[in-house]
Structure formats: C-alpha cells, structure tokens
C-alpha cells in the first residue's frame, strides 16, 4: 500500500485517477483508519489531502461559508460567524464520536462515507449545502444531498475529490436545529436524526421551511410536504401534531440492530417536531 501526501488538488486527482480501484482519500481518517484494521481491508493507495492549501480552512466568500474538506468538526464550533449562521449544522457535526474524534473527523468525510446514519448530512441537506468537486474531467458543484446515493455509495466518479462544502448565507430570521436519537448520551450513532431549517416573516409566521430526516432510509429523506405544513403558521400545537405525523409517515426505515421500523418512524416525528420548535425559537433570536 502506498501513502501519498500531495500539495495540490491537481496532484491528488492525478494520483487517484492513476489508481482508480482500491484507493482511498484520507482527511481525518476516523472512518478509514478503523476500516484499515479489519482483516479483509485491502488498499493500494491512500492519498492524504491535509497538506493541500485551503483544505483545513473555513473561508467566508460571496457564495457563503466555504469549508475545506479537511476541516475537523471541532473547528466549526470555534468559528463564531458560522455558529451564529448555522447552529444546526455545527451542533450536528459536533455530535459525531467523542471529543477526540471531533478534533479529527470532517463533514466531508461524513458525507462521502455515505452512511445512512451520518449526523452532519441531514443538517447539510436541510440548509441546502453545495459541494465543490474537482476531478480529472474538471470541476463541478452539486447539492450535498446528491453525493450519497445509497449506503456506502457516492455519485463521485473515479479520481474525483470533494474539495469543500459551501453553506449559503442564511436569510434574515433563519433558524436551524439538529436532533438525533441515541440510546446512550454520547459516543453513539444516530438511530434517527432530524434537521430543520426555517425562516420567519416579520409577523413571526414561518416563511419557508426545509426538513431532512436521517437514519430512516438509505439516503436522507426530505419531506417537503411536511415542511410546507409549517409555512404560514407560528407552530401551533395542531400544526406541530400534523407535522409530526407527516414526518413519521415520510420515514422509510428498516428493522436493524439499532432500532425497529415502528420505533424509528415514531421517533422521527417526535424529534422533527422538537427540532422545528428549536429552529423557530432560534429564528426569532437572529436579526
């Protein structure tokens, strides 16, 4: 197995293109290093992208917050502007693993690992994040939602690298929140994850809403019908009850070691309702 640490994205793409099979990108390594310990793990090439300029930086541009692919999740929480703009994303990213893991793991890694239970992915989808992809055929920008296509599968072509995640600037009076269910208090993986982003009008009614459900389907589920129920309301109890039921209905989980279908559907609704209330309150606190 070869370990390479290129200094440019072009070199990284070149290395990966030359070894399209059995090659891996290393940033935080919190998924890859665990897999490498398995007896059945085989790799010919590992490309460490941490030395590439900009990979470890958060930049605020006209497009919004550009978060380099190797930015550890802990660093997100240290960026006051980002925390103020998208608390739902930062809190989701900082639920992953332990404090030690958070200082290594990255949102891009979380996205490209394509685990259905990834915590940061519903939060990214709810804020309609984009990703910058560089590859042998050129660069492209796609919605974060379109990166994972199924458990462990991404839409990235051989040789392509996600270079950054871009979060838009939030509209005024926008709030975001992420809640997950785990049987423990920390160091666990989501049985259900729910992200809500909503923007208030001046009169306090919801102007727009976007909801994303994680761990209840092979990909993140975006129940637009449920989100639309919140628009034009102030989240009264009746609305929230209908919203909760709609989110439960939208969830398409499986029975597995982490939970049952019935449990996950029910809890998806409960957490979506709770997240909506938090997002609504946060929207009221912003300018």
Partner 1 sequence: MSFDASYNEKELNAVGTRPVRPDGVDKVTGRARYGADYNMPGQLVARVLRSPHAHARILRIDTSQAEALKGVKAVVTAADLPDLTDGDASLFAILDNCMARTKALYDGHAVAAVAAIDVHVARKALKLIEVDYEVLPHVVDVDLAMAPDAPVLDETIITKGVTPAPDAPSNVFAHSEFGHGDVAAGFAKADEIVERTFKTEQTHQGYIEPHACVASCNSDGSAEMWVCTQGPFVYRQVCADLLGLEVSKLKVTSSEIGGGFGGKTHVWAEPVALALSRKAGRPVKLVMSRNEVFRASGPTSATSIDVKIGATKDGTITAAEATLRYTSGPYPDTWAETGAMTAFACYDLENVKTVGIEVLVNRPKVAAYRAPSAPMAAFAVESAIDSLAHKIGIDAVDFRIKNAAREGTRSSYGPVYGPIGIGPTLEAAKAHAHMSAPLGKNQGRGMACGFWFNFGGQTCTDLNISADGTVTLSVGTVDVGGSRASLSMIAAEELGIAYEDVKAGVADTASLGYNDMTDGSRGTFSSSMATISAARNAIAVMKQRAALMWDIPVEDIEWKDGQAHAVGASHDNLAPLSVKDIAAKAGNTGGPIAGHSELVADGAGVSFGTHICDVEVDPETGATRVIRYTVIQDAGKAVHPAYVEGQYQGGAAQGIGWALNEEYIYGEDGRLQNAGFLDYRIPVCSDLPMIDTQILEIPNPNHPYGVRGVGETSIVPPLAAVANAVSDAVGVRMTHVPISPPRILAALKAQR
Q: Which residues bind partner 1 (CB under 8 A)?
A: 37-40, 181, 183-189, 191, 256-260, 262-263, 266-267, 270-271
Minimum CB separation of residue 252 from partner 1 in Å reads 17
Assess contact for 164 and 68: CB atoms under 8 A. yes
Q: Which is nearer to partner 1, 12 or 95 (CB)?
A: 95
Start-to-end CA span in the chain (Å): 52
What's the min distance (Å) between Cβ of 181 and partner 1?
6
Structure-token match 């930049």, residue found? 59
| Residue 43 CA: distances (Å) to CA of 24, 30, 36, 198 | 7, 16, 9, 43
| Min dist. Cβ of residue 285 to partner 1 (A) | 25
Buried b (16+ CB within 10 A) or exposed e, 248-273: bebbebeeeebbeeeebbebbbbbbb
Q: At what angle do helices 261-285 and 237-250 cross, to 10 degrees?
A: 130
Nearer residue to partner 1 within complex by CB, 142 or 270: 270
Helix (H, G, I), strand (E, B) or coil at 97: coil
CB of residue 59 vs partner 1: minimum separation in angstroms? 34
Using the minimum distance from each CB to partner 1, give the nearer residue, 79 or 266. Answer: 266
Tell me how far, at minimum, the Cβ of 265 lies from partner 1, in Å: 11
Say if strands 2-4 and 45-48 run parallel, antiparallel, or are unpaired. parallel
How many helices and strands, by DSSP H and E, does the chain display? 11, 13
Which has the closest alpha carbon to 279: 208, 176, 210? Answer: 176
Q: Which tokens belong to 95?
A: 């639920």
Pairing of strands 64-68, 130-135: unpaired
**Considering beta carbons, is residue 148 or 259 the nearer one to partner 1?**
259
Complex with partner 1: residue 67 or 191, whichever CB lies closer: 191
* Between 21 and 39, CB nearer to partner 1: 39
Q: How far is the CB of 14 from partner 1 (least distance, A)?
A: 27
Minimal distance, residue 270 CB to partner 1, in Å: 5
Cβ-based nearer residue to partner 1, 60 or 274:
274
d(CA 15, CA 24): 10
């Amino acid at each position: 197995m070869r370990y390479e640490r290129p200094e440019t994205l072009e070199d990284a793409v070149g290395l990966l293109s030359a070894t399209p099979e059995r090659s891996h990108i290393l940033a935080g390594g919190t998924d890859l290093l665990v897999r490498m310990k398995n007896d059945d793990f085989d790799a010919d090439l590992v490309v460490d992208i941490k030395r590439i300029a900009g990979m470890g930086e958060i930049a605020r541009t006209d497009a919004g917050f550009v978060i380099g692919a190797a930015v550890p999740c802990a660093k997100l929480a240290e960026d006051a502007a980002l925390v103020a703009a998208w608390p739902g994303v930062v809190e989701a990213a900082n639920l992953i693993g332990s404090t030690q893991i958070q200082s290594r793991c990255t949102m891009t890694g979380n996205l490209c690992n394509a685990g259905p239970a990834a915590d940061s992915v519903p939060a990214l989808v709810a804020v309609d994040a984009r990703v910058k992809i560089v590859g042998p055929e050129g660069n492209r920008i796609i919605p974060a939602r379109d990166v994972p296509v199924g458990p462990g599968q991404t839409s990235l072509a051989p040789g392509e690298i996600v270079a950054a995640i871009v979060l838009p600037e939030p509209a005024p009076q926008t709030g975001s929140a992420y809640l997950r269910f785990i049987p423990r208090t920390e160091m666990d993986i989501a049985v259900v994850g729910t992200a809500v982003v909503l923007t208030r009008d001046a009169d306090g009614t919801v102007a727009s809403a976007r909801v994303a459900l994680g761990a209840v389907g092979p990909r993140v589920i975006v129940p637009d019908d449920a989100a639309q129920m919140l628009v034009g309301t102030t989240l009264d109890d009746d609305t929230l009850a209908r919203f909760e039921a709609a989110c439960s209905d939208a969830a398409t989980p499986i029975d597995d070691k982490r939970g049952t279908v019935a449990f996950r559907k029910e809890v998806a609704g409960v957490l979506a309702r709770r997240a909506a209330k938090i997002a609504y309150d946060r929207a009221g606190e912003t300018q």
